[in-house]
Amino acid sequence: MSIVTAPANLQTPLETPLETPLETPLETASVVDNSLFLKTIVQQIRANDAYGTYRYWPDDLLLRPYILSKKERRAISVEGEVDPFTLARILAFYRAIATRIESETDQISQVVVDISHEGFGWALIFSGRLILVSKTLRDAHRFGFDSPETLSAEGEKLVSKGIDLAQRFPEVCDI
C-alpha cells in the first residue's frame, strides 16, 4: 500500500505564485492543533472531497488557500465570475461555523450562501426560524485572511455569536 502525498508542484487557485510563504509547517501545525475551528474547516474540506484527493495532505496545506496577504488579494482580479474553488472555500468556512454551533448547542444548523457573479452576496446560518449568523459578502473573489490566527479568530467570533443566539432563543430554533 502506498501513501499518497501532496504533489510538489501544487498550484493554488491564484494565477501568480504565492509571494509570502505561510509560516513554517511546525508553526502552522501548532495553530491548527490548538484551534477547534481550523480543525473543523479541515474536516469540512475532507468531507467534500469525493475522490479522496486530500486524504493524506497535511492540514496546513489544506488551509493555505484561505491565507492571502494584502498584496496577493490585490493581485486577484474582481472581473468575471467567482472561481468555483473560491466559492467552495467560502461554503466550507460557513459550514464549519454551522458545525461548531451544532456541536455546542445540539440545534441543527443550515448554511445558505448566495453570491452573484460579481462577487457580492450574503451568507446565512440558521436553525429553525432563527438566523444565527448573517454576513454580507463583497469581493468574494478575494476571500481570505491574513494568517491562520486571523482565520481562527474570525471563525470563533461568528461561532460564539451564533451559540449565544441559539442559547438565548432555543424555542425559535425548535420551530
pLDDT in tens, 120-144: 999 999 999 999 999 999 989 999 9
Q: Which pLDDT value is given to residue 117?
A: 87
Sorted by where each begins, the domain ranges of the chain are: 25-173
Determine contact, residues 151/145, Cβ cutoff 8 Å.
Answer: yes
Query: What is residue 16's predicted lDDT score, i.e. its pLDDT?
Result: 43
Whose CA is closest to 157, among 107, 97, 112?
97
Please state the CATH superfamily assignment of the domain spanning residues 25-173 in this structure: Protein of unknown function DUF269 (1.10.3100.20)
Sign of CA dihedral 30, 155, 44, 146: negative
25-34 and 148-168 helices, crossing angle to 10°:
10
Give the pLDDT of residue 141: 92
Angle at 25 between CA 2 and CA 153, to 5 degrees: 120
* Spans of the chain, pLDDT less than 70: 1-30
